Amino acid sequence: MIGCWGRGSLLGCIGLLNGCNSDVPVSAVTQVTPPGVIVTVTRIATHPFLSRFNLALTVSTAGGCVATSELFPDTGGVSRRNLYVAASDRLYVVGQFDVRRFDLQRCLIELIEFRSVEDGLRFIGSFDIDRSGHWVFHAATTRAERPFEPR
């Protein structure tokens, strides 16, 4: 029987442990206009080996507003969320299967239908993994918009 402590397999087990997902929350954060608005998307692994995560959106403002919403969970490689701002100063967080709209005046995050998204949004960036697999915010100045594929 060859286990983790068998001959020559210690390195294999260490590699396996490095491939495990941690259930420690990981947040990616950005500040957007209007000034003082901070957007955070937090990702928490729900399975030690599969790419499955719960996601939460938090928007806070300099005026003391804090709004939080659970996002559609990632059940297999769909964590990325694109961030947009509208001329009305509303923020949109768009995923493969869901859209959240933050209204600064009402301090409210709403789940809305894709067809309810305003026209003329400006892409701010994406919450996504980087090349090394870390959950980060990619500003539009460093990574171009990646639209979602219809499923």
Greater model confidence, 147 or 137: 137
**Three-point CA angle 80, 84, 87, nearest 5°:** 170
d(CA 149, CA 151): 6
d(CA 105, CA 16): 48
pLDDT in tens, 11-54: 333 344 445 777 789 999 999 987 789 999 999 999 888 889 99
d(CA 93, CA 88): 15
Greater model confidence, 3 or 95: 95
The confidence band for 150, taking pLDDT boundaries of 50, 70 and 90, is low
Greater model confidence, 115 or 150: 115
Q: What is the mean pLDDT of residues 102-121?
A: 94
Q: What is the DSSP letter of 34?
A: T
Query: Is the Cβ–Cβ distance between 54 and 43 less than 8 Å?
Result: yes
Q: What is the mean pLDDT of residues 60-71?
A: 96
Give the mean pLDDT of the chain: 86
d(CA 82, CA 100): 10
